[in-house]
Amino acid sequence: MPPTGSINPAGEIVLECDVDKGEIYVRPVGGPGKPVNLFVSTQHATYTLLLRRSDTPADTIVIRDKTVRLSRVEPGGASAATRTSQHVRSLKGMLVAMSSERAPADIRVEEVNRPIQLWQEAKFALVRQYEGRGLIGERYLLTNVSSQDMVLAEQEFDRERGNVLAISIENHNLRPGESTTVYVIRQGT
């Protein structure tokens, strides 16, 4: 079956599908600089993609759903899916502790207030660090110091070799002068 094209109601992308090959072709149609958030969902997970127009050759993105392999039962009776759900609960627990003003007794909190050079358009500071439950949490404050609106995506805060497990941003769209909290959770030692 040949690819078929259609435009979404908001007019932000052109979507072409080749059902026989199992491939989808996505092309942003918005103006330059206007990112498009795209969510790809399977039975087991949702993947977030941030698309931006650029004058470069096409990229191929291959998504391998690893959760299907994790669901088999391992020796000893505990399934990988059970361990995965416990891991997700740990991450959620750390995020709740980081977003509240009172952390549980098993999480150590350290006030840091250290500025970090990120982008010229942003003032970025590590406000607080959390440690416990095999995780390290970092709470940042990001302020848009430019004269333009700023659109943020979690992928922009995933540092190489930083053992980043989760990222959460309170407000993805900042007007000039506005601030937001960015939460980063890494694997502890």
Confidence class for position 10, pLDDT limits 50, 70, 90: low
Question: Burial, 58: exposed, middle or buried (Cβ in 10 Å; 0-12, 13-18, 19+)?
Answer: exposed
Residue range 178-189: average pLDDT?
86
pTM above 0.95, yes or no: no
Domain ranges of the chain: 4-67, 87-187
Ordered DSSP codes for 24-71: EEEEE-SPTT--EEEEEE-SS-EEEEEE---SS---------THHHHT
Q: CA 15 to CA 4: how far, in whole Å?
A: 8
Confidence class for position 180, pLDDT limits 50, 70, 90: very high
Residue 23 vs residue 72, higher pLDDT: 23
Min mean pLDDT across 61-70, 89-98, 107-116 is at 61-70
Residue range 90-97: average pLDDT?
81
pLDDT at 155 over 70: yes
pLDDT at 166 over 70: yes
Exposure of 32 in the CB half-sphere (CA atoms within 13 A): 3
pLDDT at 139: 92
pLDDT at 70 over 50: no
CATH 2.60.40, domain 87-187, yes or no: yes
Arithmetic mean of pLDDT over the chain? 75
- 3-class state of residue 91 by DSSP: helix
Residue range 130-151: average pLDDT?
89
* CB-CB contact of 152 with 169 (8 Å): yes
Residue range 119-142: average pLDDT?
89
